[in-house]
């Protein structure tokens, strides 16, 4: 599974905009977010759709982000991971 390209990330523009609002996150490249010096969230694409890998503790957890409901689930997980 490859990292999501710019065309795929374009489908997630509102989600990316929301993620950019978190003061603890830094977007080092489009769609690749870090918290402090550690990778926190990035996106992948394949034939089955788009996915986000979110650091939860020491591991990454994969979330589908193909629908509005999927993206809401991801954002709730981001809030939990940031302990907001």
What pTM, to 2 d.p., does this model score? Answer: 0.92
CA atoms within 13 A on the CB side of 41: 26
Tally of structural domains, the chain: 1
pLDDT per residue, tens digit, the chain (84 aa), is 788 999 999 999 999 999 999 999 999 999 999 999 999 999 999 999 999 999 999 999 999 999 999 999 999 999 999 985
Structural domain range at position 61: 2-81
């Amino acid at each position: 599974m490859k990292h999501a390209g710019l065309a795929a990330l374009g489908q997630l523009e509102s989600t990316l905009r929301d993620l950019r609002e978190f003061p603890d996150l830094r977007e080092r490249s489009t769609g690749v977010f870090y918290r402090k010096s550690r990778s926190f969230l990035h996106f992948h694409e394949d034939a089955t759709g788009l996915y986000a890998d979110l650091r939860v503790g020491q591991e990454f957890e994969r979330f589908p982000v193909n629908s509005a409901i999927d993206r809401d689930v991801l954002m709730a997980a981001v809030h939990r991971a940031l302990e907001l």
